[in-house]
Amino acid sequence: MRTYLLRRLLALIPTLFFASLIVFFTIRLIPGDVVDLMLSQNDVAAEKMSRDQLIAALGLDRPMWDQYLRWAGAIVLHGDLGKSLWQSTPVTEQLAARLPVTFELGLIGLLVGLSIAIPIGVYSAMRQDTRGDQIARSFSILLLAIPNFWLATIVVVFPSIWWGWSPSVEYVAFSDRPLLNLQHMLLPGVILGASLSALTMRLTRTMMLEVLRQDYIRTAWAKGLSEPMVMLRHALRNALIPVITLIGLQAPILIGGSVVIEQIFVIPGTGLLLLDAVGSRDYPVITGVFLVFGAAVLLINLAVDLSYGLLDPKVRQRQ
């Protein structure tokens, strides 16, 4: 297991390297120039400098490859993601303040999605072709068809028109007031989790139906085991391996969905930070956020691969 884990961690290094190359150079292709934006908005620092002086002060006068080597070297040697071009604050400090918020939202969304998908998927497989199964499948198709940003917009707009109620936009940290924080984060988390549950629900049903037809399940029934014992201990455990794979593949969707949800509900996470940075062409912040997102996706998929060994002893031996 240790050798497998070390090998997988080493494999992340070239992946992050190529991801950093793509992110760093692609971001600079966004239409618009941060220098022109600063000068057009009468930025205080820009007012005292000419255009060439401002470009030199921001370090944008160097060749692109030189900028990348300096940026990558600072990350490798010091863990420094650079400073914001607008605020001159370290990107690592901004991410440290915003990441826990996005992590909390993603965790709530993931727990809500699994809480919806797995029980309904198991029930649908147990009651195949019954009215309950038809309702469950229709429900999964409905969730699959509804975009989370549309549902979030409806939840924000229509209650305010009909009943004069709208979700709170005043964020409170979990460490300060846990109950108020959960009250603020629960609705966005439910919307995010509902959109993630559709595919997981359908795959859980499909895999449960396949597992229930296996010989060892018939043997378990023949031994007189109860239905909960057969379903939970024998069937569900083996059906979850493809489901966990799907959850890992949905990690980018979870992160991308959090960007939109944070914007709609005014949640001060990394998604809102990214949108603000894109609007202001703050290159260090954009590259830092994307690099952290990429590392998070890779680590989530690594955790998914390691979880196979917990569910299947054969996989554990290979690891």
Query: Which has the minimum average pLDDT: 37-46, 128-137, 152-161, 220-229?
Result: 37-46
**Whether residue 44 has pLDDT greater than 70:** no
- Name residues whose C-beta falls within 8 Å of residue 119's C-beta, 6 or more positions apart in sequence: none
What is the DSSP secondary structure assignment for residue 62, as one 8-state letter? S
Q: How far apart are the C-alpha atoms of 31 and 239, rounded to whole Å?
A: 47
Q: Binning pLDDT at 50, 70 and 90, where does residue 312 land?
A: low
Per residue in 108-120, pLDDT (tens digit) is 988 998 899 989 9
250 contacts: CB under 8 Å, gap ≥ 6: 196, 199, 200
Mean pLDDT within 36-61: 69
Determine which of 55-59, 250-254, 277-281, 313-317 has the lowest per-residue pLDDT on average.
Answer: 313-317
The pLDDT-based confidence of 318 (bands split at 50, 70, 90) is low
3-state secondary structure 227-282: HHHHHHHHHHHHHHHHHHHHHHHCHHHHHHHHHHHHHHHCCCCHHHHHHHHHHHCC
DSSP per-residue codes, 147-216: -HHHHHHHHHHHHHHHTS---------TTT-HHHHHHHHHHHHHHHHHHHHHHHHHHHHHHHHHHHTSHH
pLDDT of residue 235: 81
Three-state DSSP class for 90? strand
Please report the pLDDT score of residue 269 as a whole number. 87
Distance CA 140, CA 118 (A): 12
Position 234 scores a pLDDT of: 75
Residue 257's pLDDT is 75
Q: Residue 170: pLDDT band by 50, 70, 90 thresholds?
A: confident
Q: In this predicted structure, what is the pLDDT of residue 272? A: 86
Residue 7's Cβ-count burial label (10 Å; 0-12, 13-18, 19+) is exposed
Cβ distance 247 to 308 under 8 Å?
no
Q: Residue 103: pLDDT above 80? A: yes
Dist CA 75 CA 294 (whole Å): 15
- In whole angstroms, give the CA distance from residue 198 to residue 217: 26
pLDDT computed for residue 42 by the predictor:
58
pLDDT band at 49 (very low <50, low <70, confident <90, very high): low
Return the pLDDT at 89.
86
What b/e string do you get for 192-203 counting C-beta neighbours within 10 Å, with b at 16 or more? Answer: bbbbbbbbbbbb
What average pLDDT does range 77-95 have in this prediction?
85
Mean pLDDT over residues 92-102, rounded?
89
Above 70 in pLDDT, residue 301? yes
Number of helices (H) and strands (E) in the chain: give both, helices first.
16, 0
- The two three-digit tokens of residue 41, written as one number: 């908005």
Mean per-residue pLDDT, 22-27: 86
Percent of the chain having pLDDT more than 70? 93
Coil, strand, or helix at residue 77?
helix
pLDDT for the residue numbered 315: 57
Q: Please give the structure tokens belonging to residue 222.
A: 């023949």
Q: Distance between CA atoms of 87 and 282, rounded to whole angstroms? A: 10
Distance CA 71, CA 82 (A): 7
pLDDT, tens digit, 9 for 90 and up, residues 253-291? 777 778 888 888 888 888 888 888 888 888 889 898 988
Average pLDDT, the chain: 82
Q: Tokens standing for 20?
A: 């950093």
Reported confidence tier of residue 67, pLDDT bands at 50, 70, 90: confident
Model confidence band, residue 47 (pLDDT cutoffs 50, 70, 90) = low
Is 35 in contact with 55 (CB distance < 8 Å)? yes
Cα–Cα distance between 267 and 7 in angstroms, integer? 37
DSSP state of 225: -
Rounded Cα gap, residues 115 and 201, in angstroms:
10
Maximum average pLDDT range among 1-5, 75-79, 137-141? 137-141
- Per-residue model confidence (pLDDT) at position 26: 86
What average pLDDT does this structure show over 69-83? 85
